[in-house]
Structure 1
């Protein structure tokens, strides 16, 4: 499989809110309503996706399915998705019901990104949600077990023994999770930090989401390592023999500076570089640079990003606390001045 230049372009919002007077999202309610408004505005601009990050115990977007359903009801064409839901916290059967409902409301536009998750706000927060790893397992094993159950029930096959005296008549045979949305199983994405988890996701037939950080496995620049991860994922997909073609997304912070306000907010990001840090005590990570420059210079910089070239989907991280109007202009600048010059649109 070869890299494609045409990109599906969407936004990814972490959905921060704070009561600070400097923020335009000062409450959870404002945050949710503005997230819907930004998705509507992005669709009107011609963007392809509205994606939301999920964190628990934080002033961010913590319960994705009501938001996804609301966005699906207010829009007609834009993909709605997550990047990502932490599976350590999830009841996979209840999640399958919520995801099926949101997908049906949107007419089959849900792109559900899931993962093991990142370090959270509280110690072992999934325990407060009622989940514990089995003996001899860790929290990553817990996330993968929940994921396997979710993937299985999304197939739509019956597995539950019906009551011989039900309140309502049952169809014949074992019962499945309802509502079932046909095709959703092929629209599940795994957020992989390492090459090994990318191969694991490919084996299970999940699409790949690769973020602005990954395990530093070779010491090479971030975009080079990420491109190699994407190629390993596609090789593993081919080896698994899946019938359909997978999708791959990468996330980037990209800002086209077109006026003084852009320059005031992001002019200092122009010299951004990859950074090295640690995720927990177990993983040395490399964090990808931000891009901020006038459109012509930005086009030249992005043309050298190997991972963007490999991916079919680009998710632009947006500073949601700057408000819907400003973030609409951020997306418009990329779609108007940058994407066409790179052949992405």
Structure 2
């Protein structure tokens, strides 16, 4: 086992009637993780929830609070987005962060599209292509190719120039990730040169075993990889070490895990969704379980998925315990000196 890259994913929750403290604490957590030596910090993008609804805006702010750590979003649902306008926003964040942005994406119709109606759609959504092609359009925009023919120019107060997406963000297309959770999505990501995000849920195709299903997706991704550069796979697991927690937090952690264990016992719903058990235990126990995780043994990038609605000091304790007591025993070394 050789985990060389450790990241974390935070939901960015905030109180319903006062969002500033939650968003500010999430920004502080990115800086805290950087000081601990984490390689990347990720934020979920969620709509109509008490969470970060605009990952690009949030990460633009994070780019000014940090100097080294990778900044990621997992995942942007492209059904809500305009592929050109989003590309402009992401390119701006990548420039502001000096090339530290990682963009996780997914295809499909927007989950709340029917509820939003004409608040989101300008026409009949039945005529909109929500397929993987929409994700590919975003990448094509980020490639920064010149628009029009050789005689196409734009006149502006800044002068005459060839039209292209601005600002240019060279290298960002190599840092695009696809949120895999099925054989189809894993194959598409590999065939189209998107890095692969694996998490703690997937589709139970041909098996009821979560780990067997995820290994099949990983194998399919790797066998279809189409780029000259090496493929990257980042694995997410819900990991909550209890070593440094006080009695109240340990109870909260145990209650959290107990409330979710039933969903891991069998496939859930028509899509047969499989869930990995949460790793809530002492560092020694978590390390033992990670070493038995067949998927962990196949990757070198691991991402802690932090639970929703924990206190800021609990998130800090989880990140500190993992970086001090678990990550080094997986082969990882911090990018900077760990906080004493």
Indicate the TM-score class for this superposition, using the shorter chain for normalisation: 0.7 to 0.9
Q: Is the 8 A contact 1:190 1:206 kept in 2?
A: yes
Which residue number corresponds to residue 81 of structure 1? Answer: 72
Which residue number corresponds to residue 112 of structure 1? Answer: 103
Q: Is the 8 A contact 2:14 2:51 kept in 1?
A: yes
Q: Is the 8 A contact 2:3 2:302 kept in 1?
A: no
Which residue number corresponds to residue 23 of structure 2? Answer: 32
Structure 1 residue runs without a partner (length 5+): 20-25
* 1:122 Cα deviation after fit: 6.0
The answer to whether the aligner puts 1:244 opposite 2:241 as a matched pair is: no
Of the three residues 187, 192, 199, the one matched with 1:199 is: 187
Which residue number corresponds to residue 210 of structure 1? Answer: 198
The answer to whether the aligner puts 1:263 opposite 2:254 as a matched pair is: no
Aligned pair in 2 of structure 1 residues 299, 272: CA closer, same or farther (>3 Å)?
A: farther
Deviations 1:95-152 (A, max 9, x none): 11111110111110000001026973563647532265554x7xxx514232111111
Which residue number corresponds to residue 148 of structure 1? Answer: 136
Which residue number corresponds to residue 93 of structure 2? Answer: 102
Which residue number corresponds to residue 337 of structure 2? Answer: none
Distance, in Å, in 2 between the alignment partners of 1:277 and 1:124 is 28
Deviations 1:163-192 (A, max 9, x none): 565443233x4x210011110000000002
Aligned length: 325
Q: Is the 8 A contact 1:216 1:286 kept in 2?
A: yes
Distance, in Å, in 2 between the alignment partners of 1:126 and 1:275 is 37
Which residue number corresponds to residue 231 of structure 1? Answer: 219
Aligned pair in 2 of structure 1 residues 64, 221: CA closer, same or farther (>3 Å)?
A: same
* 1:320 Cα deviation after fit: 5.2
Distance, in Å, in 2 between the alignment partners of 1:133 and 1:308 is 40
Structure 2 residue runs without a partner (length 5+): 334-340
Q: Is the 8 A contact 1:37 1:324 kept in 2?
A: no
* 1:272 Cα deviation after fit: 4.0
| Root-mean-square deviation over aligned CA pairs | 2.4
Aligned pair in 2 of structure 1 residues 164, 299: CA closer, same or farther (>3 Å)?
A: closer
Aligned to 1:306, the other structure's residue is in SS state coil
The answer to whether the aligner puts 1:186 opposite 2:174 as a matched pair is: yes
Aligned to 2:20, the other structure's residue is in SS state helix
Aligned pair in 2 of structure 1 residues 326, 160: CA closer, same or farther (>3 Å)?
A: farther
Which residue number corresponds to residue 10 of structure 1? Answer: 7
Of the three residues 271, 274, 298, the one matched with 1:286 is: 274
Aligned pair in 2 of structure 1 residues 37, 278: CA closer, same or farther (>3 Å)?
A: same
Which residue number corresponds to residue 340 of structure 1? Answer: 328
Distance, in Å, in 2 between the alignment partners of 1:104 and 1:125 is 32
Deviations 1:301-326 (A, max 9, x none): 11011112222222211135323222
The answer to whether the aligner puts 1:169 opposite 2:159 as a matched pair is: yes
Q: Is the 8 A contact 1:257 1:267 kept in 2?
A: no
| TM-score, length basis structure 1 | 0.86
Which residue number corresponds to residue 336 of structure 2? Answer: none
| TM-score, length basis structure 2 | 0.87
* 1:160 Cα deviation after fit: 4.2
Distance, in Å, in 2 between the alignment partners of 1:148 and 1:79 is 23
Distance, in Å, in 2 between the alignment partners of 1:163 and 1:182 is 22
Q: Is the 8 A contact 1:198 1:229 kept in 2?
A: yes
Q: Is the 8 A contact 2:79 2:109 kept in 1?
A: no
Distance, in Å, in 2 between the alignment partners of 1:118 and 1:8 is 32
